[in-house]
Structure 1
Amino acid sequence: MNNLKGQDLLRNPFLNKGTAFTEDERIKYNLIGLLPKKIDSIEDQAKIVYERFKSFENSLEKHLFLMNLYDINRTLFYYTAGKHVVEFLPIIYTPTIGDAVMNYSDKFDTPKDAVFLSVDQPKNIKESILQAASELDDIKLIVVTDGEGVLGIGDWGVQGVDIAIGKLAVYTIAAGVNPKNVLPVVIDAGTNNKTLLNNPMYLGNKFERVTGQKYDDFIDKFVNVCLKLFPETLIHWEDFGRGNARRILEKYKDTICTFNDDIQGTGVMMVSALNAVARVTKIPVKNHRILVFGAGTAGVGVCDQILLEKIRTGLSCYEAKKQFYLVDRNGLITDDMNDLTEGQKKYAHKKEEFKTSLKDLIKIIEEVKPTVLIGTSGVHGAFTEDVIKVMAKVNDKPAILPISNPTKLAEAKASDIIEWTCGKALVVTGGPSDPVYYNGIKYEIGQANNALLYPGLGLGIITAKSKVVTDGMLSAAAHGIASLQDLSKPGAPLLPPVSNLRIASKLVATAVVEAAVKENINRAPISDAEKAVEAEIWEAKYN
């Protein structure tokens, strides 16, 4: 029990059992009189938590209630969440986490073991991390954000810390990553959100975002401190802005163990979905034409991962790139456009390929005849009935994947897509969708929920103590997810349901470990990948 007694023990969320302390434990740890007399099992406690959870009327209140439990009793939090994964996951993380981020300063209660690093205090990085990690075991996983590109809601400054906390909670719920091995970090580099700068309650730095060399130097020092303190840790970058996310990943990905879920995770989920589409349509992955509506970090990341998959199926990089079409607010991206990002330039088509510049999505579809339409724009309703119908006109089984999150930013609803295509479409959404009933068929809608991917990926990396995160490992993760699905029935979902989260995570982790061993980048000696993964999984139970 780490020698803690009395109130100090009850205040430690990792050791606190609340009313589950036995009579002997209450005597031993000076808890007599500090708890009600009744002794509960963890099952009893979880039932009480669930009943209270159901009593709250809105999702944000439910989120705040669960995160209060997280503060008080981490074991009970994870035990209860494990019993109600499908119901709790959208409350703990997306889509409710967006509301939590926006209300963070106004509803702040505790820091929840996060590390707050201010860009104007680089000397404090090491001390701050050591202080936060002092109550934990060896840190194996760090999720860090600077809050500039939160989900589809933009720059929320230091309030983005909730994203790092929530992401790590999902690592544990989905894959059993030990909560004493993780550290949420937010880099407070200021904010360009005028609402926050004018809010007297805002808890972050009240200056515009720091950019350039000062920002880069801070990131570099942060990485170096983390690796000196925890040489085998995985650094997971989350919700960085468009101008920094890819640049940071490219700088470090070949030399340290690091991963960006917005760029790589979403892309891997789409690789998994595309493999399912290929099986249903009988069109090989290498022959699919991909139109991505929304050419930001996520959109380019999707293209990058699918590109690698196409190359693995036998295409050259040149041949594969010709099958991608990116669309942003100015229309189809061509090489004559100004201010293209490096990622956009990679997929820009020559202007001469088209008779005129193409700005209207319907005309773009008619021109390039994509087999797969992916939405990463955050533009609600962008996939109109006419857009969907033209996809159905040029394809027998159009794959339409509006994956923008949260749901209120989705390009289209699954029910509309099914109806507008007369049941022909293969659909994946970013948020959860109810089944759609059409012409006597029940269409289960797969959700491109990165929770099916990144927790298992992280668990696999931790298990293997991988030196880096390779494309081969990401591909193994994608195929690990896809292996779960039986696509023989009409209306079958292209991706596994969230109820299969634990199964999916274990499959992904095992595939990732096997890939790391195959590539000889594991630092842990491993003879049996599945057994190694099982040994690493933490279970929520009282000691």
Structure 2
Amino acid sequence: MPKRQYEVLPGSHGSRVKIKAHGGAVLRDPRINRGTAFTHEEREKLGLTGLLPSHVTPLEAQLHRSYMRFKNASTPLAKFSYLQGLRERNSVLFYRLLSEHLEEVMPVVYTPTIGEAIKEFSFWFQTIDGVFLSIDRPELVEASLRATEIAPEDLDILIVTDSEGILGIGDQGVGGIQICNGKKSLYTAAAGIDPDRMLSVVLDVGTDNLKLLNDELYLGERHARVRGERYDAFVASFVDAARRVFPNAMIHWEDFGANNAHRLLDTYRGEICTFNDDIQGTAAVVASAILAGVQAKREKLGQQRFVIHGAGTAGIGIADLLVDLLVKEGLTADEARKLFWVTSSRGLVTDDATQRFRDFQRPYARGIGELTDWDLDHPGLYKLADIVRNVRPTVLIGTSGQPDSFAQDIVRDMAAHVERPIIMPLSNPTALAEALPENILEWSHGRALIATGSPFQPVVRDDVTYTIAQANNALVFPGLGLGVAVCNADRVTDSMIAASAEAVASLADARRPGQSLLPSINDLRRVSATVAIAVAKAAEADGVAQEPLTNPVQQVFESMWMPNYPELVFD
């Protein structure tokens, strides 16, 4: 990673910079390179005379050209490749394009296209912004972080993956660095976090992906994924080094496997400023949609009965946050958990001695004795249809990865007992969705309140256009990261996560039929700023903010980097 060739002038928030480079080096630094947008006077002072075509092109014209090239790329992967090259040449232009065409470009720089880019990482590799840490060379961890030449005070967020649970496609080895860069792009486009104040990191602990291990082009360590004590020691060495090198940075854990995600979060959340998007980010955006749905029904959260189909990392994370919100409403934690029924691959999670479950599922295990009077399709088996029939849930959440598991009879049964059921098929991509919105609306006679994991087009039914809310983590994590940076929080508390969910919910109004449970992706800047203010205030209330909040709105606004060419200052 090259040393930065510019200096942001104090108090300018990136709007005024002094360029240290000269000649061709200016064009090789993506943060200061503006290509043909350099004026003739700037070209002369920077030693660029003759190195660019004569015509001076303003940013708006460059944006138009870049957008047309993006549109003309023949495949999603070709579009991704073009955008990656643009980011490596001119970061202002890349983020301006992403910001102004967010709804169209986001599926390319993030899901679903980034999944294909991750699979092809070793084949497509040229250069990439990020740090690769190997479990076979743990003694180099700190030196690798310092090699970035980023000053300790100049980094706000470390986005870290071990690549085991990438986007539903599983173990992808070092290719997982791309998911970190995808999240980095959204932090900037949505919340205005300066891209140079973030760093992507992949923890290369090997891979169990046999296709990668047998690919002569694969760029990661060529051995099976390391687990157990050696894995834990490596993660600990990274955390210790990160605290020394970047003491103010939040560690954002991304796409760790289910066995490690909860455990690492629980291990470090009391020691460092850390956040797991798959657990806490997913939970917050889903909770936001539920809060909006409950408000639309003019009910309280404590009046709901929750069935979560898929008690993995995401599902239990959702349940944990909802319990926090229920406690805030006045219930005890034990009372709140009694409102939940969660399923694993074997059906309802119970305290039956013959059933095995993970530690993080244990608080939601139902007593087998309370099920003796249940009406079951098959004695001794507690499947989703049985749970819905006997519980009569008001909220049905799908994080199972089991397509079509919200079958017609299940949705009709739920809708027969609930006037406005909240139904959320969250598994993605679309092929894994528990049900399609148009079917849910048909089976519920248009009464269901819906949020999905994948994007869906609006559904028209009986002259009503139903906007389908997408429970996209981008509604939460950018604003959370911004809020943490603004107040320099030294922890991410449960109250801060709850505050982010409530902030997003406050921007939705689903009282009228067809209205979305969540704000639009096109409104991410406003959403992220709202979340950041709420998170910073919660951090201050919890005593974890290290910078005073004298004027939260102004402090958040001033902290949001804008993709504009800065004023150049010369000696």
AA matched with 1:268 = A
Deviation at 1:109, TM superposition (A): 2.2
AA matched with 1:58 = T
Distance 1:44 1:407 in 2: 36
Alignment of 1:472-491 (within 5 A): 472-491=495-514
Distance 2:153 2:125 in 1: 26
**Structure-1 residue corresponding to 2:413:** 390
Distance 1:24 1:339 in 2: 71
Please list the CA deviations of residues 407-459 of structure 1 after superposition, one character each: whole Å capped at 9, or x if unmatched. 23221211221122110111001111111100110101111000000000000
Deviation at 1:129, TM superposition (A): 1.1
**Structure-2 residue corresponding to 1:495:** 518
Deviation at 1:110, TM superposition (A): 1.4
Question: Does the 8 Å CA contact 1:145/1:160 hold for their aligned counterparts?
Answer: yes
Matched, 1:101 2:118: yes
Question: Does the 8 Å CA contact 2:296/2:509 hold for their aligned counterparts?
Answer: no
Deviation at 1:460, TM superposition (A): 0.2
Deviation at 1:382, TM superposition (A): 2.0
Distance 1:359 1:53 in 2: 50
Matched, 1:524 2:547: yes
Distance 1:137 1:18 in 2: 30
Question: Does the 8 Å CA contact 1:294/1:327 hold for their aligned counterparts?
Answer: yes
Question: 2:180 aligned to 164, 167, 185, which one?
Answer: 164
* Number of positions where the alignment pairs a residue of Structure 1 with one of Structure 2: 542
2:550 aligned counterpart, secondary structure: coil
Deviation at 1:488, TM superposition (A): 2.9
Question: Does the 8 Å CA contact 2:177/2:201 hold for their aligned counterparts?
Answer: yes
Distance 1:230 1:371 in 2: 45
**Structure-1 residue corresponding to 2:483:** 460
Deviation at 1:256, TM superposition (A): 1.0
Which is further off, 73-82 or 135-144? 135-144
Matched, 1:412 2:429: no
When residues 519 and 136 of structure 1 are mapped into structure 2, their CA distance, relative to the original with a 3 A threshold, is closer
Alignment of 1:186-335 (within 5 A): 186-335=202-351
Which is further off, 460-469 or 372-381? 372-381
Question: 2:159 aligned to 137, 143, 153, which one?
Answer: 143
Deviation at 1:136, TM superposition (A): 9.9
Matched, 1:121 2:129: no
Please list the CA deviations of residues 305-359 of structure 1 after superposition, one character each: whole Å capped at 9, or x if unmatched. 1111111111111111111111121011111244311111111111122134334
Question: 1:374 aligned to 393, 397, 400, which one?
Answer: 397
Question: 1:360 aligned to 376, 379, 383, which one?
Answer: 383
**Structure-1 residue corresponding to 2:92:** 75
AA matched with 1:54 = K
Distance 2:119 2:411 in 1: 33
Matched, 1:132 2:155: no
AA matched with 1:66 = L
Question: 2:104 aligned to 87, 90, 93, which one?
Answer: 87
Question: Does the 8 Å CA contact 1:358/1:364 hold for their aligned counterparts?
Answer: no
Matched, 1:56 2:73: yes
AA matched with 2:20 = N
Question: 2:455 aligned to 428, 432, 444, which one?
Answer: 432
1:244 aligned counterpart, secondary structure: helix
| CA RMSD across the alignment | 1.4
Deviation at 1:282, TM superposition (A): 2.6
Question: Does the 8 Å CA contact 2:32/2:90 hold for their aligned counterparts?
Answer: yes
Question: Does the 8 Å CA contact 1:98/1:406 hold for their aligned counterparts?
Answer: no
Distance 2:65 2:40 in 1: 21
Distance 2:184 2:83 in 1: 14
Distance 1:220 1:471 in 2: 23
Distance 2:356 2:172 in 1: 25
Deviation at 1:135, TM superposition (A): 9.0
AA matched with 1:103 = E
Distance 1:445 1:389 in 2: 19
Question: Does the 8 Å CA contact 1:253/1:259 hold for their aligned counterparts?
Answer: yes
Distance 2:215 2:460 in 1: 46
Deviation at 1:134, TM superposition (A): 4.0
2:159 aligned counterpart, secondary structure: strand
Distance 1:220 1:55 in 2: 46
Which is further off, 212-221 or 127-136? 127-136
Question: Does the 8 Å CA contact 1:481/1:507 hold for their aligned counterparts?
Answer: yes
Distance 1:110 1:136 in 2: 24
2:104 aligned counterpart, secondary structure: helix
Deviation at 1:165, TM superposition (A): 0.6
AA matched with 1:396 = E
Distance 1:161 1:195 in 2: 18
Which is further off, 515-524 or 301-310? 515-524
Alignment of 1:3-14 (within 5 A): 3-14=20-31
Distance 1:468 1:260 in 2: 12
2:154 aligned counterpart, secondary structure: coil
Distance 1:218 1:349 in 2: 37
Question: Does the 8 Å CA contact 1:136/1:180 hold for their aligned counterparts?
Answer: no
2:393 aligned counterpart, secondary structure: coil
Identity within the alignment, %? 42
When residues 320 and 258 of structure 1 are mapped into structure 2, their CA distance, relative to the original with a 3 A threshold, is same
Distance 1:326 1:102 in 2: 32
Q: Which runs of 4+ in 1 moved over 6 A?
A: none
Question: Does the 8 Å CA contact 1:236/1:260 hold for their aligned counterparts?
Answer: yes
Question: Does the 8 Å CA contact 1:133/1:139 hold for their aligned counterparts?
Answer: no
1:117 aligned counterpart, secondary structure: strand
Question: 2:64 aligned to 40, 47, 60, which one?
Answer: 47
2:95 aligned counterpart, secondary structure: helix
When residues 70 and 270 of structure 1 are mapped into structure 2, their CA distance, relative to the original with a 3 A threshold, is same
1:31 aligned counterpart, secondary structure: coil
Q: Which runs of 5+ in 2 are unaligned?
A: 1-5, 7-18, 373-378, 567-571
AA matched with 1:335 = D
Please list the CA deviations of residues 269-317 of structure 1 after superposition, one character each: whole Å capped at 9, or x if unmatched. 1211111111122331012111111111111111111111111111111
**Structure-1 residue corresponding to 2:14:** none
AA matched with 1:200 = E
1:158 aligned counterpart, secondary structure: helix
**Structure-2 residue corresponding to 1:35:** 52
Matched, 1:444 2:467: yes
Distance 2:437 2:153 in 1: 44
AA matched with 1:97 = I
- Provide TM-score, normalisation by structure 1: 0.97
AA matched with 2:421 = P
Deviation at 1:362, TM superposition (A): 1.3
Deviation at 1:37, TM superposition (A): 1.4
Matched, 1:513 2:536: yes
1:105 aligned counterpart, secondary structure: helix
AA matched with 2:349 = I
Question: Does the 8 Å CA contact 1:136/1:181 hold for their aligned counterparts?
Answer: no
Distance 1:421 1:58 in 2: 37
